[in-house]
A and B are shown apart, each in its own frame.
Chain A
Amino acid sequence: MREETAGELETDSLSPMEDGEEKERGIMGLQDDSKCQPGQAALMDSQNSIPETGENGVVVGTEMEEKGMEEGDLKKEMGMEMELEVEAEVKVELCQSGHGLQVSFIRGTDLFGYVGIEAVLDQMRRKTMKAGLEFNIMVVGQSGLGKSTLVNTLFKSKVSRKSCTSNYEEKISKTVKLHSVSHVIEEKGVRMKLTVIDTPGFGDQINNENCWEPIVKHVNEQYEKYLREELHINRKRKIPDSRVHCCIYFLPPTGHRLRQIDVEFMKRLGKIVSIVPVIAKADTLTIEERQEFKERIRQDLAANGIRVYPQKEYDEDPEDSILNDRIRESIPFAVVGTDKEHQVNGHKVLGRKTKWGIIEVENVEHCEFANLRDLLIRSHLQDLKDVTHNIHYETYRVRRLNESNVSFSELGLAPWPLENGTDDRGQSESHL
C-alpha cells in the first residue's frame, strides 16, 4: 500500500475522489492476503497514534493537502472507512515487495522500515488549520448586477457590504469608492478570514472614463504594503496578506458582446490580478443565448489579448492543463444568486421564484453557480492565492525594485538589500 501511496504522491493523475476509491479497492483486495507480523505491532501503534486525519489526508489525495483547506466532507468520510483499514494497510505493505507502479524513486519498501515522510502533510495540515487562511476577493460591476447577493450565496453567510452596513442605501455613488468588509468564517475546524472588497459606483455614471483607476490603485497599494513588510529587516513571521487574490467581474446579460468598458477594465486589471468574469443575472438568457453569448465573449477576450483566470501560461503540468482547459471552455460562468429558499419536490432549495417556475441556484442545469463555487472555493482557492503570490506579486515586485534602483531616493523605498545588509540599515529603518 505504501508504494501505491507514494505513487499517488508523484503522479497525481487521478482526481481526489477517484484517488480515494482506488485506495479503498486496493485495500479491500489485499486484505485477504495479509500476513500478520507481530513484530510490526509496535510500529502500527505508533502509526495509529497519529490521529485518523493523518491516514485520511494521505489517502485521499495529496493535491488537496498541498492546496490547503477544502470542504472536509470528503475527507471525513474517507477517514471513517480508512480507520478500519489501518491495520490491514500496514501489514500488507510490509509483507509485499516488488509490486507496485513503475516509478523512479525510492519505494517505501526499499527503505529500512517506515520513514514517515507523508506525515509531513499531516503536519502541514494541522498548521494550516491552526493558522487559518486569508482570502481576499474583489467584486466589480455596475450597480444592481447582484454582486452582494452572489458573495453571500457563495459563502452561505451575510458577508457583503449590503448586509453589513446599517444604512445601506441603494444609491449610485458619484465616484468609485472601495469598500472592504472582513469576516471570519469557520467550517469543520478550518478558519478563513474572508475579505470582500466592493466597488460601488463602477460604471454607473454617464461618463465612466477612468473609473477603473481607483481599483488599479487599490490593487497596487496592497502589493506595495506587502512588499514593504517583506523588505523590513525585522519582519513578521506571517505577513498580513491584504492582496487581492481574485477579482470577480460582473458582465450584464445583454446577450450581445463585451462592451467597451468591460474590455478596458479587463485589459488593465488582467495584468495585475486574477480576473474571473461571470455573467450576472443569467436567468434572463435561454440556454442557446447563453452559449452564443459566451462564445462571443471568449472571442472578444482573445481578440483583445485579455487573460482571465485560469491563465493558460501558468498551468504547471498536463493534468492541470486538462482541468483548466475544461474550465476555460465554460468561462464566463452564467450565475444567478439568491438568499431565499423555496420548496421544490420536498426539499428546500436556494432559488428564485417567478410565475413561470423556480430557478434553482445550485442546479447545474439551471445556472452555473455551482461551477463557480467549486472553482473559487473547492478546487482552486489555493491556486488563486499561489498565482497571486508567485506571479502577480512577483511581477509587481520586480517592476518596483527596478524602478527603485533607478531612483530610490525619490521613491523612499529601500534599495535592494545588499549582500551584507548592514549599509542600508539606517536608511531602510528611517523610511519604513
Chain B
Amino acid sequence: MDAIMLQEKLVERLLCPRVRTARQKEKQYVGFATLPNQVHRKSVKKGFDFTLMVAGESGMGKSTLVNSLFLTDLYKDRKLLNAEERINQTVEIIKHTVDIEEKGVKLKLTIVDTPGFGDAVNNNECWKPITDYIDQQFEQYFRDESGLNRKNIQDNRVHCCLYFIPPFGHGLRPVDVEFMKALHEKVNIIPLIAKADCLTPNEIKKLKDRIREEIDKFGIKVYQFPECDSDEDEEFKQLDKELKECTPFAVIGSNTVVEARGQRVRGRLYPWGIVEVENQSHCDFVKLRNMLIRSHMHDLKDVTCDVHYENYRAQCIQEMTSKLAQDNRMESPIPILPLSTPDVETEKLIKLKDEELKRMQEMLNKMQQQMHDKEQ
C-alpha cells in the first residue's frame, strides 16, 4: 500500500503539472513512464566514466586538445624529451585520470596517452603496445565478468580513440593506414586533422575529401555516427547530416585565453589574426566536443560494449574451444580463462562454458528485443 502511495507521489512530483489536475485519469495511470527519470537519477548518483585514448605523432597538439576539450590542465609538468633521450624510447602508455563534475553530474575521465608513437626512424609495429593495451583491458573485463563476484567491476575498456592525422601531408600516410587498420576492430576510431590552423579553407576541404576517400579505399572502419531516428525533428536531422559530412574534424586546440572581438576566448594569437578555438568558422572543435561529450558519449560506450568487446570475447572463446578440440584433453589448462585454483577441473570448466553460452544467448535475445522495439 505504502509503495503505491509513494509511487503516486513520485508521479506527481516528476511529471508535468497538468497531470496533477486530471485526477480521474490517475486511476488508469500506471506510472512507469517515470522510469527514464529514475534511471537518470540513479546514474547521476553513480556517476559516469569514460576512457579516451589519444594517439598520433608527437607535436600534433594532442595534449593541448585534451586540455581544451575538458577545460583542464592535465599536462602541467610535462618535460619534453630531446632527440637523444628519444632514441631508445618505445611507445609507452600513460593514463591520466581526472574527476570532473558539472551541475551535479560526475564524470570520471581517463585519458590514455601514447607518447613515442611514430617518433622513431623505424616505426614498424609501433602500434603494437597500443593494441596490446586495449586487449589487456578487454581481457581484464572478461575475467571480471566471468568471475564469481561481479559487484564492483571496474570498466577500463577504451571507449574511444582520437587519432591525429598531420595536416602537412596530402592524405593518409602509410603509418596512419596501418595504425587504423590494426585498431579499427578493437576500438572506436575518430580520425582528426590536427593543427588545422595551417590550412586554408580550400585546403581543409581537399584534405578531408582525400582522407575520406582513402579511408574507404583501405577499408578502415572508423566510428560511424548512428542514424537519426525517423521521428526526430528536421533541425536535429540537419545537424546530424552536417556532422557526418564534416568528418574527419579539423581541430585546433589552445591552452591560452586571448582577447578577441571584445571577449575573452580560448585561442591562438598570431601577427596576422586571432584563431578562436570555439568559432565554428575557424575549426571543427565545437563539433568534436559536442559529438564526443554532449551527444555521442553514451553511444560510444555502447558500441564499445556491444560490438568491440563482444568481438573480442567471441574470438577469445572460439580460440579456447578450438584449442580444446585440438588437444582433445580436457585437463589442459586454459591460459585465458581465469580460475581460482591452479589445477583445472573439467566439470567446473564445462559448467562455466554453459554459463557463458547462456549469457550469450540472453545478450542476443536482448539485442533482438531492442531492434524490435526500435522498429516499432
Q: Does any Cβ of A come within 8 Å of B80's Cβ?
A: yes
Whether B376 sits at the interface, judged by CB under 8 Å, is no
Flag whether A19 is at the interface (Cβ < 8 A): no
> Which residue of A208, A281, A352, A359 contacts B122 across the interface (Cβ within 8 Å)?
A208
Given A143, A262, A353, which contacts B169 in the complex, CB threshold below 8 Å?
A143
Query: Are A261 and B80 in contact, with the CB atoms below 8 A?
Result: no
Residues A207 and B168 in contact in the complex (CB < 8 Å), given A254-B58, A259-B83, A286-B270: no
Bound-complex Cα distance A257 to B173 (A): 21
Q: How far is the CB of A116 from chain B (nearest CB, A)?
A: 51
Which residues of chain A are near B197, meaning CB under 8 Å? 283-284, 354, 356
Given known A-B contacts A254-B58, A299-B82, A300-B82, A143 and B273 have beta carbons under 8 A apart? no
- Specify which of B126, B170, B282 is in contact with A170 (CB 8 Å cutoff): B170
Q: Looking across the interface, which residue of chain B has its beta carbon closest to that of A262?
A: B83
- Tell me if A257 and B83 are in contact (CB < 8 A): yes
* B325 → A minimal CB distance (Å): 37
Give Cα A121 to B86, complex, Å. Answer: 53
A357 CB-CB contact with B under 8 Å: yes
Cross-chain contact of B198 among A205, A209, A263, A283 (Cβ < 8 A): A283
Does A253 belong to the interface (CB within 8 Å)? yes
Max chain A C-beta neighbours (<10 A), residue from B57, B87, B168, B174:
B168
Q: Does A172 contact B (CB under 8 A)?
A: yes
Interface range on chain A (Cβ under 8 Å from partner): 35 or more
For residue B121, CB closer than 8 A to chain A, the reply is yes
Q: Is the CB of B168 within 8 A of A280?
A: yes
Specify which of A206, A257, A264, A365 is in contact with B175 (CB 8 Å cutoff): A206
Q: In this complex, what residue of A is CB-closest to B194? A: A284
B residues 258-274 near A (Cβ < 8 Å) are 268-274
A-side contacts of B119, CB under 8 Å: 259-260
Known: A207-B122, A209-B121, A257-B83. A354 touches B59 (CB 8 A): no
* Interface bits A173-216 vs B (CB < 8 Å: 1, else 0): 00000000000000000000000000000001111110000000
> Does B157 make an interface contact (CB < 8 A)?
no
Kindly supply a per-residue 1/0 record for chain B positions 254-290, scoring 1 wherever the CB is within 8 Å of any chain A CB and 0 otherwise: 0000000000000011111111100001100000000
Interface residues of B in 184-236 (CB under 8 A from A): 195, 197-201
Greatest chain A CB density within 10 A among B170, B178, B281 is at B170
Let me know if A255 and B83 touch, CB within 8 A.
Answer: no
Q: In the complex the two chains form, is B82's CB within 8 Å of A172's CB? A: no
With both beta carbons as reference points, the residue of chain A lying nearest to B272 in the complex is identified as A357
Q: Interface residue tally of chain B, by bracket?
A: 35 or more
**CB-defined contacts of A357 to chain B, threshold 8 Å:** 270, 272-274
Contacts of A281 in B (CB 8 A): 168, 198
* Contact (Cβ within 8 A) B124 A144: no
Contacts of A145 in B (CB 8 A): 168
**Could you say which residues of chain A place their CB within 8 Å of the CB of B167?**
284
Contacts of A264 in B (CB 8 A): 121
B83 x A353 contact (CB < 8 A): no
A256 contacts the other chain (CB 8 A):
yes
With both chains docked as a complex, state the minimum distance between the C-beta of A376 and any C-beta of chain B, in angstroms.
22
Q: Interface on chain B toward A: helix, strand, loop, or mixed SS?
A: loop
User: Given A145-B168, A209-B121, A300-B83, is A255 in contact with B173 using a C-beta cutoff of 8 Å?
Assistant: no
In the complex, B248 has a CB within 8 A of chain A: no
- Using Cβ atoms and an 8 Å threshold, which residues of chain A touch B201? 354-355
Whether B273 contacts A254 by the Cβ 8 Å rule is no
Are A260's CB and B120's CB within 8 A?
Answer: yes
**Contact at B198–A206, with CB atoms within 8 Å?**
no
Set of chain B residues within 8 Å of A263, measured between Cβ atoms: 83
Q: Which residues of A contact B53 (CB under 8 A)?
A: none
Within 8 Å by CB of A260, from B83, B170, B271, lies: B83
B282: contacting residue among A142, A352, A355, CB under 8 A: A355
CA distance A287 to B272 in the complex (A): 11
Q: Which residue of B174, B195, B272, B275 contacts A172 across the interface (Cβ within 8 Å)?
A: B174
> A356 near B59 (CB under 8 angstroms)?
no
User: Does A254 lie within 8 Å of B60, measured CB to CB?
Assistant: yes
Q: How far is the CB of B263 from chain A (nearest CB, A)?
A: 15
Residues on the B chain within 8 Å of A280, using CB: 168
CB of B261 to closest CB in A, whole Å = 11
Q: How far is A259 from B83 in the complex, measured between Cα atoms in Å?
A: 6
- A284–B195 CB distance below 8 A: yes
Residues on the B chain within 8 Å of A303, using CB? 82, 84
A358 within 8 A of B: yes
Q: Which residues of B contact A286 (CB under 8 A)?
A: 268-270
Q: Give the contacting residue for A204; candidates B121, B122, B174, B198; CB below 8 A.
A: B174
Q: Which residue of A lies closest to B276 (CB)?
A: A356
Contact B58 A256 (CB under 8 A): yes
Nearest opposing residue in chain A for B199, CB measure: A354
Please report the C-alpha to C-alpha distance between residue A303 and residue B84 in the assembled complex, in whole angstroms.
9
Task: Give the complex CA separation of A207 and B123 in angstroms.
Answer: 5
A284 surroundings in chain B (CB, below 8 A): 167, 195, 197-198
CB distance from B84 to the nearest CB of A (A): 7
User: B124-144, CB under 8 A of A: which get 1 and which 0?
Assistant: 101000000000000000000
A-facing residues in B76-120 (Cβ within 8 Å) = 80-84, 86-87, 119-120
- Cβ-defined contact, A365 with B198, below 8 A: no
B59 touches A208 (CB 8 A): no
- Give CA–CA (A304, B282) in the complex, Å: 39
One of B83, B175, B272, B273 near A304 (C-beta < 8 A): B83
Looking at the assembled complex, report how far the CB atom of B119 sits from the nearest CB atom of chain A, in whole angstroms.
6
Chain B CB within 8 A of A258 CB: yes
Which residues on B sit within 8 Å (CB–CB) of A61?
none
Contact B80 A144 (CB under 8 A): no
CB<8 Å pairs between A and B, sample of 23: A144-B166, A146-B168, A170-B170, A172-B173, A204-B173, A206-B174, A255-B59, A259-B83, A259-B119, A260-B121, A262-B83, A263-B83, A284-B195, A284-B197, A284-B198, A299-B82, A303-B82, A354-B197, A354-B200, A356-B272, A360-B272, A365-B271, A366-B272
